[in-house]
Chains A and B, each alone.
Chain A
Amino acid sequence: MLANAGDSYRRPVAIWLVTLFTALAVTYIKAEEPSANTGAPARASSQNFEESLNMRITKKHGNRLKAKGRATGTVDTKGSLKLHLITGSKARATFFGQNPNGTLSGTIAARYRVSGAISRYTGKITSLTGTGRYAHAKSLGISFTGTVNRRSHKVTGTLTGRWHA
């Protein structure tokens, strides 16, 4: 009897709590969705990212190369690229760019092949971070293709995809 009375008291409270948590969860999920879905302008929006790298190798030590130069496109920066040749066909690159609006840095996982003087790299950005105007930078899928001329030490590359600016 007492149990039945307790149940009848608890049930509305439980239903009220479930409703409250559901409402909170829906509000939280909505807030996390990209701004394109809500239609409201957001601080971090999904945009195209296209960048061309034009650099030159300035330092080489063992299986690590360092290049300096310019990146132009979505973000115009002066920057550097550090290339770590992990194996005969795998490489990891870290880049750093800087302009008066802030800094942008990231890591690229790539595969490479050598064809005469040219080494060709293909890969994708695995992490992207920034400061200043690019403090919310995040890769939403940016691919990388690049070449290193082993004779002239010229480095070229393109980064294309989408990012949160």
Chain B
Amino acid sequence: MALSLISAAFVLTATAVPAVATPQATLKAKFRPEKLGASTAVSIAFHLHSDPGEAVPTISNFALRLPRGIGFGASELGLATCSESSLLSSGVRGCPQESLMGTGSALVQVPFSTQIVRERARVFIFMARPVAEQTTTLFYFDGRRPVIAPLVLQSQIVTPEGSFNSILNTPVQAIPSAPDGPEGRMVALRSTIGPSTLRYFRQVNHRRVAYRPEGLSLPNRCPRGGFRFAASFRFRDGSQTHAYTSIPCPRQRKPER
């Protein structure tokens, strides 16, 4: 009886939700260099595509599943931390250089009444203090007023119980645009963690010497099927979409005879 009531309620709920045009998502990932056991820069890019004439719905959560063995623990990225308040008050200059871990860009749509305005924002990724005992990073969107105000998104690395993959989970809050204007909607993001241009400084014989920090470490062995990434997008209207990609295992060099 109870089961049939729950089933009936589920059917009613399911039929009550209007059909939503969920956008398609594409995901790309790249390691540079692709060498097992070495440190590397990881580039991630996603793009949301909607039908012509339709605006992409507003993202409420973005979760990126990382391949097994990938994390910041063995890297030199983010040797200092930065806070959301520092970023919002002083921008990138408000953070220590050693807290910067990566850079990128994002494409944001703002659907004003007569047209959709597209704005590209620079993205900076910083190490932050852990939240709820989880490694936390900050994505700072350096938007240009009046279209998009600067925005900080907090991303946490979580590993579900029994899983061998970490998830970079990012709740996405409202993207503020012009005063009293509509919310911005993120449609694309391209970012690189541990890029070759990143420089930290260390003291050597009383001199400040620039060096490139070691990026994320690739495991010594390639997982079966390559390094698989998966992205999950949840939208404010309740819909969700997923995208997958994988980086094939690097070819092993045959010993020269």
Contacts and interface: CB of A to CB of B under 8 A. Distances in A.
A62 B34 CA distance: 12
B79 A117 contact: yes
Contact of B218 (A62, A113, A148): A62
B130 A63 contact: no
Contacts of A86: 68-69, 164
Contacts of B130: 113-115, 120
A interface, how many residues as a size bin?
20 to 34
Nearest to A151: B79
Contact of A116 (B66, B78, B134, B159): B78
Contact of A150 (B76, B157, B165): B76
Contacts of B73: 63, 85, 88, 91, 112, 114, 119, 148
Interface in B140-169: 157-159, 163-166, 168
Nearest to B68: A87
Interface of B: 36-38, 66, 68-76, 78-81, 98-99, 127, 129-130, 133-135, 157-159, 163-166, 168, 217-220
Interface of A: 60-65, 85-91, 111-117, 119-120, 148, 150-151
21 contacts: A60-B74, A62-B36, A62-B217, A62-B218, A63-B73, A63-B218, A63-B219, A87-B68, A87-B163, A87-B164, A89-B134, A91-B73, A114-B127, A116-B78, A116-B98, A116-B129, A120-B130, A148-B73, A150-B76, A150-B79, A151-B79
